[in-house]
Structure 1
């Protein structure tokens, strides 16, 4: 008895689901299987094209693994032309500078003619010396826009066009004029997530933004001294904020950072990147604002560059967060710690603090990430500070690479304020519970 071809008689939506899990070239090849498969690939709802790992951490699907070229881009246009659209997702990752901007623009225009996309991800790597210039068509159904390594220009008719569906906007090393960026934000009133990275990019002219986004819940800013001002005028639903600054610190950059912090002072979760504390130390303390709703704080602390002013900012942060419950600190030392820094940390950190509400009443969990420390004992100094002062501490986690025995020896000498505190040390292989009572 002949076997029945059950796969060819599957419902169309199941066939589309199967093809969506294949590489594009394999999905197209299925058109030769049987008449019932001939045009199924033209209904693909999403495309992932690119040669290398993209910035989101997902492996892009591609025709082959060779560097992107103009002929490759022409084949992409040919494939997109054969699809019916519109697309739920279109992700394109370009490596190097082999694709002319006009071919890239023709692809965007073709996507617009096909009915647009809901999620557009365009990543151009290693293209900072020859940025791809793109004009963004007014995709009516666009929900997620993520761009990197390109120059974005809005068309003249963009004024008055509203991105009612756009909820996520991510610009990573994207050249855009201040006017066009402000216009893009003004026309996207339903944004819930906004990420702007200009840390490693020279912007011209200076960016000066006023952000009024009533539904914004998550904001991320990576800034350099070319950013003049970012003012969060009205973001009543903002819950999470992430701020990172350039390693080239200046008083101007410190003022921009200070302004950003005042704008996000009502968040419940805050992540401060490397050198934010150092930037704030360039300004006069105390700052006249606090974080009355903050529950979770994560920040970087470079122990090799600690000085008295940085320690004062560290103490101010704790005092300005009266209801802090969870603290994550990424400890690192880019250069070897000097004896002077070690002495300073012992004097300023390992001592009892008075009048810090979160240490007295709310701070229950502290995690120390010590993978990037050149000298582990400097990290133990910070650990001892919280063991000595956090009176309601429940759990102290220490994530480290090596030097376990010396850390345990030091922790056994530590004073502890909380009767319920548990100290757990993790490395890549083991978990060690330390009794510090």
Structure 2
């Protein structure tokens, strides 16, 4: 009988590291008993994901979903990092704190320990807060719905960030993602010159430090700034000049005073979301932000943008001559003459739009008066829409979370009546909707494009509607 070959001991080191990276640390350490050549491999782990969602220490997700983190746990993390050689490709920390038990000093020691170990390329720190330990809560039923447009969900009450983060000079840092903290830059900050992606979500940071961070990160290609639930003191006023920036994502509230894209020649994609408290100031800030996005080819606008802009007098000054794809959330139950005028203006400002993804929302039953107004403002044939006459070819309309489906069909009819180059109309609907009534309604529409194909589908079925 031939002697068995010990193939596992002779694997290349990078293969061994790759294998252990798929295990929690407890299991990775146990592999040291496999053979002499494996004893040190676990100390070369390049990535750590710690906390409530994915925990490299081996604790279950449930341990952190329903309880707050302790100082003892953070000390365990410090001990683990001390045992690893570094540097790290990724370090991810996601924690839930009780408000009066925030060990910022222990977190700071951890960050400096990462620096001593050679630094980190991707740093992701996420903190949330609770007045007390929360019991398990069932997830909302609609979390698993296949929505084409992401719906932001906040499952916990909001608290002002208490954790202070002083960032060490990570010279190799490429991706920085922070949520729910107070960010302070070190004295004589020289910048993260390798940084390509920056995400700040409900992060308290001074105007001076935010400008300093952006001005010294000229290699940024992606910038995300979420301030929907944040009290900014003083109000944020930001001028952005980033020559390599290609993607921006802004969620703003009334505390934002100005965001101006001064010099971003390579910008391609933008996501704009505003708080649900409409005001003339927020309308002015949103309008100023849209003015700086004329070069984008892809744009995503959330449901409150339309309502906020309706507070500003028409005509608007922005235009999107290079826009090819628009993703838009439309609240049907808030449509009135002002919001419809803004909706029309948006289409007129996008003369070469080719693809539209529209999610319709409705959280209240509409009166017949609202339905009549929608038919008057939307269904009648429109003039002066360049994209409807010459470029719009694909439209996807999602009617999930729409309480009254027939009002959604009013929007569908608008595009069937007016989009002369339309090739494909896709309609996503719920299992509870009356499919046969929808089909009969669509067959009555006078379709502008002879090449138009209408496909209706839900989770289980797909139906092609003959609208010729």
Q: Same fold judged by TM-score > 0.5?
A: yes
- Distance in 2 between the 1:11 and 1:365 partners? 50
Displacement after TM superposition at 1:129 (Å): 4.5
Deviation at 1:130, TM superposition (A): 5.2
The answer for the alignment partner of 1:251 in structure 2 is 280
| Aligned with residue 392 of structure 1, among 411, 421, 442 | 421
Q: State the match for 1:101 in structure 2.
A: 104
Say which is worse superposed, 124-133 or 267-276, in terms of deviation. Answer: 124-133
Q: Which residue of 2 aligns with 1:148?
A: 179
What is the distance in 2 between the residues matched to 1:315 and 1:129? 39
Is 1:429 the counterpart of 2:460? The answer is yes
Matching residue of 1:7: 8
Deviations 1:399-431 (A, max 9, x none): 110221221121111110000000001101010
Distance in 1, matches of 2:454 and 2:183, equals 50
Q: In the alignment, is the contact (CA less than 8 A) between 1:350 and 1:388 conserved in 2?
A: yes
CA distance in 2, matches of 1:370, 1:233: 37
Alpha-carbon distance between aligned partners in 2 of 1:384 and 1:11, rounded to the nearest angstrom: 61
Does structure 1 conserve the Cα–Cα contact (< 8 Å) formed by 2:160 and 2:230? no
Which of 338, 345, 357 pairs up with 1:316? 345
Which residue is equivalent to 1:237?
266
Shift of 1:389: 0.3
C-alpha contact (below 8 Å) 1:210/1:233 kept by paired residues: yes
**How far apart in 2 are the matches of 1:219 and 1:169?**
10
Q: Give the distance between the partners of 1:339 and 1:156, measured in 2 at CA.
A: 62
Structure 1: 5+ residue runs without aligned partners?
53-58
Q: 1:172 aligns with which of 193, 198, 201?
A: 201
Aligned to 2:24: 23
**Of 441, 445, 448, which aligns to 1:410?**
441
Find the counterpart in structure 1 of residue 123 from structure 2.
120
1:226 corresponds to which residue?
A: 255
Query: Alignment partner for residue 234 of structure 2, among 205, 212, 224?
Result: 205
Q: How does 1:12-411 map to 2 (within 5 A)?
A: 12-52=13-53, 59-65=54-60, 66-67=63-64, 68-97=69-98, 100-126=103-129, 128-129=159-160, 131-158=162-189, 161-401=190-430, 402-411=433-442
Distance 1:357 1:23 in 2: 56
Aligned residues: 429
Q: 1:262 to 1:111 in 2, by over 3 A?
A: same
Query: What's the CA shift string for 1:386-406, capped at 9, x where partnerless?
Result: 000000100000011022122
Moved more, 181-190 or 95-104: 95-104
Question: After the TM superposition, which segments of 4 or more aligned residues of structure 1 sit over 6 Å from their partners?
Answer: none
Q: Choose 399-408 or 232-241, whichever is displaced more.
A: 399-408
Distance 1:409 1:4 in 2: 70
For residues 266 and 419 of structure 2, the distance between their equivalents in structure 1, rounded to whole angstroms, comes to 30
Please, which moves more after superposition, 173-182 or 122-131? Answer: 122-131
| Distance across 2 between alignment mates of 1:409 and 1:178 | 57
Describe the superposition over 1:299-329 as per-residue Cα deviations: whole angstroms up to 9, x where unpaired.
1110101110000000001111100000111
Once the two structures are TM-superposed, the CA of residue 29 in structure 1 deviates from its matched residue by 2.0
Deviation per CA, 1:124-174, whole angstroms, max 9, x where unpaired? 12363552111011110000001111111111121xx13221000001111
Q: How does the TM-score come out when normalised to structure 2?
A: 0.89
Q: Which runs of 5+ in 2 are unaligned?
A: 131-158
**In 2: Cα distance, 1:99 partner to 1:4 partner:** 53
